[in-house]
């Protein structure tokens, strides 16, 4: 089957992004020339060169965040980073301080399911509510912190609806109450500034896959003296915090990907988002924007098209050459409606017709016009056959 336009417009950049050629170029040397393991300074020259490349990438990322060199640990991506942070703190503090953890209801699965898995092992978890825009309540957070609370994990921005939490405020509440704070910055990193010199956050999950870097490459920022227990056993790599062969091409590519993001590009992406939201809400009836209009990452728009189902929309769009995703249960691997849309007080109906559009470097404002025109047609067609809404 050939799409109507003959080309594909990809608007699912929160799931994965196209690798930037310049990132690939920066990585090549570490596949074909300097492919040795990162040895100590007393090792052979190829290994020393590999170690230098790794440390240079680490230094670049640390500097970018306002962190110290020794505070960045490379991982296999956000899933590992968040598992490492939550389970590492749980194991590190369960004897010394307690077994209570606080997360928000709308965290991404690595955080949410790590918390659930700890619950099965006898930990207690408080799931903070969010308001209709996806924002947590600071009073509820403060009241939820107990003597035995060992960790608060609240995302910087949401993966589906793009709502940005005030992590500076959350970090300060945690600091005052002497509780460690982890934030998943997968969907904000490089697009929304985060300066850990100013924000007292203890652990930050980072990933390269959302910024046109290599997949399965990420990092965890771990503040000095954070009582994190090592859970990936093996050698003494990554300051003895994470065993395993270092992914040197990945680390180099990650640093390059960060370097390539510019404020001008982010601005351009934000304009695409605004253009899409404005056109859809004003031209297509019975649509609702999910998430906060202002406290929103520049690359995300999430809209419910009432009376129609999301997988039907995405499949029609796919046949027309557009890639987007939906929070509909029919689309999910567990056949459950998006826990994020449900978490913001939405019902199955709101999740059922929700579509997420996420922009990246390779999108243009013309793409936005094309997809809005097509989605208007698709939604009109689907509403004709729906038993709900005005379909006469």
Partner 1 sequence: MKFPYSEKVLEHFRHPHNVGKLENPDGKATEGSPACGDMVSVYIKVNPETKIIEDIKFESYGCASNIATGSIITDMAKGKTLEEAKKITWQQAADALGGLPTIKAHCSVLAVEGLRAAIQNYEEKHGIIVEKVPTTIEIVNNRLKKVMNPLTGLDVVRKNLIKKIEINNGKVLLTIDLPSNHQFANSIREEIKEKIETLWDVKEVIIEFID
Active site residues: 330
Query: Rule CB under 8 A: is residue 318 a binding residue for partner 1?
Result: yes
Query: Rule CB under 8 A: is residue 309 a binding residue for partner 1?
Result: yes
Query: Rule CB under 8 A: is residue 76 a binding residue for partner 1?
Result: no
Query: Rule CB under 8 A: is residue 36 a binding residue for partner 1?
Result: no
Query: Of residues 13, 104, 163, 312, which one binds partner 1 by CB under 8 A?
Result: 312
Query: Rule CB under 8 A: is residue 307 a binding residue for partner 1?
Result: yes
Query: Rule CB under 8 A: is residue 333 a binding residue for partner 1?
Result: yes
Q: What angle do CA 92, 96, 101 make, to 5 degrees?
A: 65
Of 151 and 313, which CB lies nearer to partner 1 in the complex structure?
313
Query: Of residues 32, 95, 335, 390, which one binds partner 1 by CB under 8 A?
Result: 335
Of 273 and 320, which CB lies nearer to partner 1 in the complex structure?
320
Query: Of residues 22, 105, 275, 348, which one binds partner 1 by CB under 8 A?
Result: 348
For the CB of residue 306, give the shortest distance to partner 1 in the complex, in Å: 9
Query: Rule CB under 8 A: is residue 46 a binding residue for partner 1?
Result: no
Nearby residues of 334 by Cβ (< 8 Å), 6 or more positions away: none
Of 2 and 294, which CB lies nearer to partner 1 in the complex structure?
2
Query: Rule CB under 8 A: is residue 107 a binding residue for partner 1?
Result: no
Binding residues with partner 1: total (CB under 8 A): 34
Of 166-205, which residues contact partner 1 (CB under 8 A)?
A: none
Of 109 and 138, which CB lies nearer to partner 1 in the complex structure?
109
- Contact region for partner 1 (CB under 8 A) — 66-74, 274-282, 304-312, 368-376? 304-312
For the CB of residue 27, give the shortest distance to partner 1 in the complex, in Å: 28
For the CB of residue 272, give the shortest distance to partner 1 in the complex, in Å: 24
For the CB of residue 4, give the shortest distance to partner 1 in the complex, in Å: 11
For the CB of residue 121, give the shortest distance to partner 1 in the complex, in Å: 12
Query: Rule CB under 8 A: is residue 390 a binding residue for partner 1?
Result: no
Three-state SS letters, the chain: CCCCCCCCEECECCCCCCCCHHHHHHHHHHHHCCCCCCCCCCCCHHHHHHHHHHHHHHHHHHHHHCCCHHHEEEECCHHHHHHHHHHHHHHHHCCCCCCEEEEECCCCHHHHHHHHHHHHCCCEEEEECECCCCCECHHHHHHHCCCCEEEEECCCECCCCCEECCHHHHHHHHHHCCCEEEEECCCCCCCCCCCCCCCCCCEEEEECCCCCCCCCCEEEEECCCCCCCCCCCCCCHHHHCCCCCCCHHHHHHHHHHHHHCCHHHHHHHHHHHHHHHHHHHHHCCCEEECCCCCCECCCEEEEEECCCCHHHHHHHHHHCCEECEECCHHHCCCCCCCHHHHHCCCCHHHHHCEEEEECCCCCCHHHHHHHHHHHHHHHHHHHHHCCCCCCC
Query: Rule CB under 8 A: is residue 388 a binding residue for partner 1?
Result: yes
Structure tokens at 242: 């994470």
Enumerate binding residues for partner 1 (CB under 8 A). 1-3, 116, 120, 307-312, 315-316, 318-319, 328-331, 333-337, 347-349, 352, 384-388, 391
């Amino acid at each position: 089957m050939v799409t109507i336009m003959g080309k594909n417009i990809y608007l699912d950049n929160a799931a994965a992004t196209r690798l930037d050629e310049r990132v690939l170029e920066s990585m090549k040397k570490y596949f074909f020339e300097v492919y040795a393991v990162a040895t100590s300074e007393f090792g052979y020259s190829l290994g020393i060169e590999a170690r230098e490349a790794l440390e240079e990438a680490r230094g670049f990322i640390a500097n970018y965040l306002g962190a110290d060199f020794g505070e960045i640990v490379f991982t296999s991506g956000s899933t590992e980073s968040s598992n490492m942070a939550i389970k590492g703190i749980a194991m590190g503090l369960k004897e010394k301080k307690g077994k209570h953890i606080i997360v928000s209801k709308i965290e991404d699965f690595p955080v949410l399911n790590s918390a659930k898995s700890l619950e099965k092992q006898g930990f207690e978890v408080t799931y903070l509510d969010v308001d209709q825009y996806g924002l947590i309540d600071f009073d509820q957070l403060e009241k939820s912190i107990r003597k035995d609370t060992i960790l608060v994990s609240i995302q910087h921005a949401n993966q589906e609806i793009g709502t940005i939490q005030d992590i500076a405020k959350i970090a300060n509440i945690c600091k005052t109450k002497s509780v460690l704070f982890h934030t998943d910055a997968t969907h904000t990193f490089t697009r929304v500034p985060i300066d850990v010199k100013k924000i007292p956050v203890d652990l930050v999950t980072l990933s390269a896959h959302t910024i046109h870097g290599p997949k399965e490459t990420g990092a965890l920022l771990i503040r000095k003296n954070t009582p994190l227990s090592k859970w990936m056993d093996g050698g003494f790599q990554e300051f003895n915090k994470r065993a395993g062969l270092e992914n040197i091409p990945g680390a180099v590519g990650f640093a390059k990907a960060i370097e390539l993001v510019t404020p001008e590009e982010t601005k351009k992406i934000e304009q695409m988002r605004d253009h899409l939201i404005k056109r859809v809400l004003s031209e297509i009836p019975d649509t609702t924007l999910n998430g906060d209009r202002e406290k929103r990452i520049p690359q995300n728009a999430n809209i419910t098209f009432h009376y129609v189902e999301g997988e039907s929309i995405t499949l029609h769009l796919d046949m027309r050459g557009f890639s987007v995703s939906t929070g509909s249960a029919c689309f999910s691997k567990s056949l459950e409606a998006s826990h994020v849309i449900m978490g913001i007080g939405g019902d199955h109906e709101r999740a059922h017709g929700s579509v997420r559009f996420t922009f990246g470097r390779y999108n243009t404002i013309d793409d936005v016009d094309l997809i809005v025109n097509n989605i208007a047609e698709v939604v009109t067609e689907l509403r004709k056959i729906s038993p709900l809404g005005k379909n006469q």
